Amino acid sequence: MADPQLKEKVTELIAENPVLLFMKGTPEMPRCGFSMRVVQVLDSMDVEYGAVDVLPALQPLREVTAEISDWQTFPQLYVNGELVGGADIVEEMAESGELAEALGVEQPAAAPQAAAPGQSPPLQIE
Amino acid sequence: MVDLAELKAMIEAALPGASVEMSDETGDGNHLRAEVRASQFEGLSRIDQHRLVKAAVKERFDDGTIHALSVKTEVAG
């Protein structure tokens, strides 16, 4: 059973951030290869996104996302309130152009470029 | 011990008619991959396609036999 307060907080974050990534580590310093892959895809898309580091509360957050989205592994990318997927799905959708469409941006011409500056600071779970 | 044949059978049982290829990319059971082609995926988002595959082997996640499964899905048509 997930912590109701944490669940409410997570639900709010998902509602407030059109593009939100739950990841291990931060976009500047990912602590897991799967999380890093999603960060690279998002940075290549030139899209602003919020990021939540799940490591400080990994197990409670697993329980929360299991209830909200029926998904317990991280990273998790949410777009407009819906879980899009983890690293595998995000990469597949990036290649096919579906991700750019979901994000409402132009499909980048080439492979992911170097990390773009100017992404929003990591969000904190309190 | 990870039993790839069992995982394949579990996915095939959940998605009758699907073609399933299981691989253990590093040979240590930590980087399992399932490539699944099924007609049941028609009309589903990718996340829902993946949910079907993960649900099929949930028991092996729950009992700790497997920790991660990389999934690639394709609609059989």
CA angle B14, B55, A59 (to 5 degrees): 170
Residue A101 has pLDDT above 70, yes or no: yes
Q: Is any Cβ of chain A less than 8 angstroms from the Cβ of B75?
A: no
Q: According to the model, what pLDDT value does residue A120 have?
A: 61
More confident residue, B75 or B69: B75
Q: According to the model, what pLDDT value does residue A111 have?
A: 53
For residue B51, list chain A residues with Cβ-Cβ distance below 8 A: 70-71
Query: Residues of chain B with pLDDT > 90: what percent?
Result: 75
Nearest chain B Cα distance for residue A13, angstroms: 20
Chain centre distance of CA B42: 17
CA distance A34 to A76: 10
Tell me whether residues A88 and B51 touch, CB distance under 8 A.
no
Q: According to the model, what pLDDT value does residue A114 have?
A: 47
For residue B46, list chain A residues with Cβ-Cβ distance below 8 A: 84-85, 89, 92-93
Tell me whether residues A89 and B70 touch, CB distance under 8 A.
no
- DSSP string spanning B15-62? STT-EEEEEESSSSSSSEEEEEEEGGGTT--HHHHHHHHHHHTHHHHH
pLDDT tens, residue by residue, A17-63: 999 999 999 999 999 999 999 999 999 998 999 999 999 999 999 99
Nearest chain B Cα distance for residue A76, angstroms: 11
CA distance B74 to A74: 22
Q: Which of B17, B8, B55 is nearest to B38 (CA)?
A: B17
pLDDT tens, residue by residue, A53-100: 999 999 999 999 999 999 989 999 999 999 999 999 999 999 999 999
Mean pLDDT calculated for residue range B40-49: 96
